[in-house]
Amino acid sequence: MLTRIDHIGIACFDLDRTVEFYRATYGFEVFHSEVNEEQGVREAMLKINETSDGGASYLQLLEPTREDSAVGKWLAKNGEGVHHIAFGTADVDTDAADIRDKGVRVLYDEPRKGSMGSRITFLHPKDCHGVLTELVTAAPSAPDEH
């Protein structure tokens, strides 16, 4: 069962400059940052608030580390902006299977490693009214993190 909006992913050309905008404009601070080699991105997670299910909501700022990454290709085509929305779930495997059974294409056969040790998969935007949608299960050691 999807429990919350985990994060909104925003693609950017310059991660440091974009982080500084969100810090200066809204007061959001970096909660976590990492490079995900598999996804080809450098990212910063800005924590927005805690949620009633013990999780949190974030903005995920994404800068491609390679032009051929999914985010790199998306930026080349669309420019900076909202890349995806992610919903939190206690069980990404079960929820992805249930959604697949409803006719929505799930992009990964098996969930992959996401930010902060989470497990993730994506749903095809053409099946989700044009919105790239991510499902996220937080790492067990960090229930309040994505």
pLDDT digits (tens, 9 = 90+) for 117-145: 999 999 999 999 999 999 999 888 644 44
Measured distance CA(30)–CA(103) in Å, rounded: 37
The pLDDT of 42-62, averaged and rounded, is 89
| Angle, CA of 73, 48 and 119, to the nearest 5° | 55
Q: Which residue has the tokens 């229930």?
A: 143
pLDDT at 141: 60
The pLDDT of 2-28, averaged and rounded, is 96
Helix or strand run (H / E) with residue 3: strand 2-11
For strands 119-123 and 56-64, give the pairing. Answer: unpaired
pTM for this entry: 0.89
pLDDT digits (tens, 9 = 90+) for 60-119: 999 999 999 999 999 999 999 999 999 999 999 999 999 999 999 999 999 999 999 999
Phi and psi at residue 111, to the nearest 5°: -55, 150
Instruction: Give catalytic residue positions.
Output: 7, 43, 60, 84, 134
Beta-bridge partner residues of 49: 57
pLDDT at 144: 46
Decide if pLDDT at 146 tops 70.
no
